[in-house]
Amino acid sequence: MTHTMEIKIYYEDTDCGGVVYYANYLRYMERARTEYLADRGISVKALMDEGTLFLVSRAELDYRSSARYGDTIRIETKISETTGATLLFEHTMTEKASGKVLTECRARLVCADAAGKPKRMPKEMADKLR
């Protein structure tokens, strides 16, 4: 299943040349993952309150083109792999008007307890992601 969301690029997102600062793409993908889960009835906040965290253990980004001030970007998110304790998210960001690919990312998240120790994903969550 794929989730799509859009983000408008504001001045605060850019460097002095009006190009999106590279690290901001990580923030956008974090939002997209949260929305992906919310669309499936999974509340990140509720998981946190119960002592379940998801920590990024690896992120790989391929920057293809730059987003700029005033653009709207579309982020498509999917989970391509799950294990008992990990999720592999894949994100593709495109510029809405042209469809041009901006960034592709793979991010592996590990389920952990409040102390940061890896643990199995809650069964209810795993069932919703199947």
What are the structural domain ranges in the chain?
2-128
Q: What is the third-level CATH fold of 2-128?
A: Thiol Ester Dehydrase; Chain A (3.10.129)
CA 76 to chain centre: 9
Question: How many CA atoms, within 13 angstroms, populate the side-chain half-sphere of residue 115?
Answer: 2
Report CA dihedral (43, 51, 30, 87) to the nearest 10 degrees: -90
Q: What is the pLDDT of residues 56-83, one digit of tens each?
A: 999 999 999 999 999 999 999 999 999 9
**What mean pLDDT is reported for the chain?**
96
pLDDT band at 13 (very low <50, low <70, confident <90, very high): very high
Between CA 13 and CA 54 the distance in angstroms is 25
Please determine, for residue 37, whether its predicted confidence score (pLDDT) is greater than 90.
Answer: yes
Q: Which residues of 4-34 are buried (b: 16+ CB within 10 A; e: fewer)?
A: ebebebeeebbeeeeebeeebbeebbbebbb
Between CA 57 and CA 63 the distance in angstroms is 20
Q: Percent of the chain beyond pLDDT 90?
A: 97
Q: Dihedrals φ, ψ of 52, to 5°? A: -115, 125
Bridge-based pairing state of the strands 2-8 and 52-63: unpaired
Strands of the 52-63 sheet, one edge to the other:
2-8, 72-82, 86-95, 101-113, 52-63
Catalytic, 39? Answer: no
Largest interatomic CA distance in the chain: 47
Please determine, for residue 41, whether its predicted confidence score (pLDDT) is greater than 90.
Answer: yes
Q: Which of 13, 15, 71, 113 is catalytic?
A: 15
pTM of the model: 0.93
Q: Dihedrals φ, ψ of 113, to 5°? A: -85, 180
Q: What is the pLDDT of residues 86-115, one digit of tens each?
A: 999 999 999 999 999 999 999 999 999 999
Whole-number pLDDT of residue 107 = 98
Please determine, for residue 130, whether its predicted confidence score (pLDDT) is greater than 90.
Answer: no
Whole-number pLDDT of residue 99 = 97
